Amino acid sequence: MFQFGQEKEDVQRVIQPLYYRAFACDSSRCGSLCCRENWHVVVDDDTLARYQNAGRKLGEELRRGVVRVGGTGIWAMRHQKGVCTFLRADGLCSLHRRFGSVALSDVCAEYPRKTHVFETQVFRGLCMTCPVAAETALLPKEPMRFEEVQAELSRPKYYEKGDASPLGETTFFAVRRIAIALLQERSASLNHRLAALGILLSEVETRARKGGTASLEADGAAFAAAALRAVPALLEDAPFDAAQALQFFRQLIPYVTAACEDTLPETREAIAHLTAAFGHGHAAEAFSDRLAKYREHVLAPYAYMLENYFVNAFYLERYPLMGGTSLILNYQVFVVLAKLTEFLVLADDRLMEEPAQAADGSGIAPVQQAILDAARWISIHTNHSTAFIHALYAYMKEQQVDISFFEMTLF
């Protein structure tokens, strides 16, 4: 009988959010989305070699289940009638059911888990492209907490290598802990927290250039508190401009969609929402009305969901060093994506419904589902399309975000 081999077990100390323990893949809740036609699940070289070397009927089945994508040379799981050939009628993977996870490609075995391996620490969490992961991470009302565990890391080639330069790992880890604590400071509004984060990171970048980051960990709480105190004066100097914000975000999605040649159904739906909400006359009035509803139906009862999403993104996407550029540019990208998430909710008609619990027994109110869907749209693009980030950089440069940043974003 063909043996797929043994997964390499490398036990390490791993930092993870507490929600990680609660996650379980459940196709009955998501409809096996990652096994359907809009997902091209790449097959890694080791798995492909095992499939190609298998004999008899199993080998024929495995080789029929993969396909070369265009002229790229990349191999992916084959789809028939819109679903992976190995997906059973009950939503389960036939390979996993017969042979266990050793039979799966790295992507199939790990998704939606994301793991970053640094020199001294390993971090992992869940990607919000998975609806079940998003519900697990974003719906708890308490602030997101983290734990250290001993874990077996069995897919070393799949994990992303973390790069903490130019800060260095000690400083980077300290800055990230301070930033997450600041994003979870519920005595301040989400806008104030995002603005304070910019003040904090500006101070960190200044100290890094001067080689003075040694005291960051010890003085982090004081730095964060000082940043929050400085926010009112900052926002007074750069008051929110509703017309500018509406123009900026209304044009952003069509811009990046065209640049990425994005044909996803989720994107078509998002653009339809934007057109219905702001594509006709009286757009400014509609924006003002929806802002009022947003504060009532989203921020008042469900700000914790947005907080959880911002914290998870900051943690999992390696901010403030995500793009390998300056801390402040990475911060600006982070805030634009955070506010774009909120803007997608603003354009969604579920915003206009009273924030009562769902009638279908799911316990998720329509506006909560709108938040989950917006977070998923952002995550799909930031995790699965490098062209999206490049297009976002280009749009921000075109709109001169560095000059009038807060007027565009902090609605």
| Domain boundary residue, one of 161, 192, 216 | 161
Q: Judge whether residue 217 has pLDDT over 80.
A: no
In a domain, 198, yes or no: yes
In a domain, 18, yes or no: yes
Q: What is the pLDDT of residue 247?
A: 94
Q: What is the pLDDT of residue 176?
A: 94
| 359/250 same-domain check | yes
Q: What is the pLDDT of residue 315?
A: 96
| 65/130 same-domain check | yes
pLDDT by residue (tens digit) across 71-107? Answer: 778 899 999 988 999 999 888 899 999 999 899 999 9
| 184/256 same-domain check | no
Confidence label for 39 from pLDDT (cuts 50, 70 and 90): confident
| Domain boundary residue, one of 105, 135, 161 | 161
Q: What is the pLDDT of residue 274?
A: 95
Q: Judge whether residue 236 has pLDDT over 80.
A: yes
pTM higher than 0.85: yes
| 258/302 same-domain check | yes
| 144/276 same-domain check | no
Number of domains in the chain: 3
Q: What is the pLDDT of residue 207?
A: 87
In a domain, 121, yes or no: yes
| Domain boundary residue, one of 206, 237, 268 | 237
pLDDT by residue (tens digit) across 154-198? Answer: 899 999 999 898 889 999 999 999 999 999 999 999 999 999 999
In a domain, 1, yes or no: no
| 313/199 same-domain check | no
| 62/134 same-domain check | yes
In a domain, 123, yes or no: yes
Q: Judge whether residue 381 has pLDDT over 50.
A: yes
Tell me the percentage of the chain whose pLDDT exceeds 70. 95
What 3 state SS string does the chain have? CCCCCCCCCEEEEEEEECHHHHCCCCHHHHCCHHHECCCCCECCHHHHHHHHHCCHHHHHHHHHCEEEECCCCEEEECEECCEECCECCCCCEHHHHHHCHHHCCHHHHHCCEEEEECCCCEEEEECCCCHHHHHHHHCCCCCCCEEEEEEEECCCCCCEECCCCCCCHHHHHHHHHHHHHHHCCCCCCHHHHHHHHHHHHHHHHHHHHHCCCCCHHHHHHHHHHHHHHHHHHHHHHCCCCHHHHHHHHHHHHHHHHHHHCCCCHHHHHHHHHHHHHHCCCCHHHHHHHHHHHHHHHHHHHHHHHHHHHHHHHHHHCCCCCCCCCCHHHHHHHHHHHHHHHHHHHHHCHHHHCCCCCCCCCCCCCHHHHHHHHHHHHHHHHHHHCHHHHHHHHHHHHHCCCCCCHHHHHCC
| 130/206 same-domain check | no
In a domain, 384, yes or no: yes
Confidence label for 6 from pLDDT (cuts 50, 70 and 90): low
| 402/257 same-domain check | yes
Q: What is the pLDDT of residue 1?
A: 46
Tell me the percentage of the chain whose pLDDT exceeds 90. 73
Q: What is the mean pLDDT of residues 314-329?
A: 87
| 401/278 same-domain check | yes
In a domain, 398, yes or no: yes
Q: What is the mean pLDDT of residues 284-311?
A: 97
In a domain, 3, yes or no: no
Q: What is the pLDDT of residue 324?
A: 63
Domain coverage including residue 243: 239-409
Q: What is the pLDDT of residue 32?
A: 86
pLDDT by residue (tens digit) across 349-377? Answer: 999 987 665 545 568 999 999 999 999 99
| 64/183 same-domain check | no
| 266/364 same-domain check | yes
